[in-house]
Structure 1
Amino acid sequence: MGHKKKTSLKVTLQSQQTRLKNKEKAAHAAEAAELKTKHKGKGKAPALRPTIPFTPTDKILLIGEGNFSFAHALVIDPPSSLEHLPPSNITATSYDSEEECYDKYPDARSKVDVLRERGVEVFFGVDGTRLEKIHALKGKRFNRVVFNFPHAGKGITDQDRNILSNQMLILGFLRSVVGCLAEGSIPTPNLPRKRNRPADDDDDDDVNDDAADDYMDASSPSATQGARGTVLITLRNVPPYTNWDVPRLAKTPPKPTSLGTLPNPNYKLLRSFVFHRNTWKGYEHRMTKGERAHGRGTTGEGGEDRTWEFCLKD
């Protein structure tokens, strides 16, 4: 019976992968046509400021911090708009135990020491798919929950199985994080309208995620006061990561394959934007497999880093 359930979910996810690959082919053709059109134009587009998805009053939960360099950048040398963000508003977590973390990422120890001295809460052994089991997080609600470059880290060489493994990770995280999100109204990002889509149109097949990039003023909050918390997932916007189809998993997750299993929550995609690593001074992306030159790897080079921001749908 268990094998049948797993097979059913696998078939559903693989069907989504096929649809995504076809969609990507069409997108690449459209992108090539757009670039050709742009080259015919004159002049250069004005420089766009990077999007900062936090405000100084946010309570922020960081999942899967690796060597804690993002948390360190957020506290020690943040963008000017976050200079007054209290370190006590930040909770940074690692999947590894403290000993495993320092063994995998030797530079993490000094960063954690600084974070703790400043008042940041740091927790180890936190599984992002079982946040409801973490006693230290019980009763706490956050305005932003951030999972930068999630990866199951299982070292699976078969691409389809690797994609499935990471999709399961994303689904588990999106299910588990619900209890950590602040409650409130749906945030209203100040995004430009694209292709005359109505405000309530949430059809993923017509969403051009890239088009929303950086039109947002860097200082614009992604949510007004009293809004519900948001989830931010950052990945390389190139294969194999695009094959995980994160927006689709969040918005229309596969249905449960067994009776008594609660369905995954449905999320609303608020926006996506380029994640500029140099905005976060000292930030270094580290691979889940720390033995790869202390977590330094080359998977997914080229392209861009992109953040997708979601909130729970009504």
Structure 2
Amino acid sequence: MIKASEISFQKIRNALQLPKPWDLVIIFLLNILIAIPVFILAHHFLIDPQWPWQLDRILLFIGILVIIQLILHFIRKVIILGIGLYLIALIWGSLFGSYGFNSVFEDYRYMVYGMSDSPNPQDLILSKLLPFPNKSKIIKAVQYDNPKVRDFSLMCTRKYFSDVKGYGSYYTLIQCFAVFKEINSRWNYVSDPKGREYIATASESLPYLSGDCDDHAVLMAACVKSIGGIPRLIHTGGHIYPEILIGNKKDLETVNYLVKKVLFPIESKDKTLHYHIDERGQIWLNLDYTATYPGGPFMHEEILGALTLN
């Protein structure tokens, strides 16, 4: 005789089972929903071989789809339970600030945009660099704690991008981009006195937003640092320009989307972001005075020295 417990188990299993062909449809949709966050996490932490046409990402995604499809097919008899557990996990993440529905959507959007419109990497390992010229004078000139420099930076954050919402972890970076927009849209290039290297302090360049490349780099670095950003100066021999630390590869995808679709869509239209990767894998975005958007083209590629101001 069939025991009552076996009958109850059979009823539960039947209740959790979907009729054909809906079980295959649900399995496929659930596969896509699970594969997206798994793929995002995987490609962030795995080494990027830089294959052409994003073939590494395509093959990785297909592999994840196949594995998850096999797992879901194996547990298809309790697929409703699987859907429930997945939704519970996302609801929990949404309510308590971890990985939830919005995170899946945002990561997927950044990833897809990054694959279709990738930044332009300048993968230079910054090591064995030459001594930075006028290092002590430049450090002294970067007056990030000067009240006038701080006030100017605060003004910029109110003038630009103050209405941009939903990017909490990039709030400081967005404000630094506001500083970039104000300085670079108004900068007036003026040469040093003939035969002399004149390094103006940040407060000295501020009233007229004028000077040469090192004066611009000093002012940009001071303003960025005054509101929490991490700048550095790059020396190429006859030129000095500022960069800003944006983080890792995942951050680059988000910043690429922010710059091109949210903050500087006109200036960066049909263009790419230019950046450097240092010896620790950190990504630095170009803020040169010739750029109309963060990550604009470099004037000079060869790096002879780097001065981080953290």
Q: TM-score, normalised by structure 1?
A: 0.29
**Which structure is higher in helix share?**
2
Larger radius of gyration: 2
Q: TM-score, normalised by structure 2?
A: 0.29
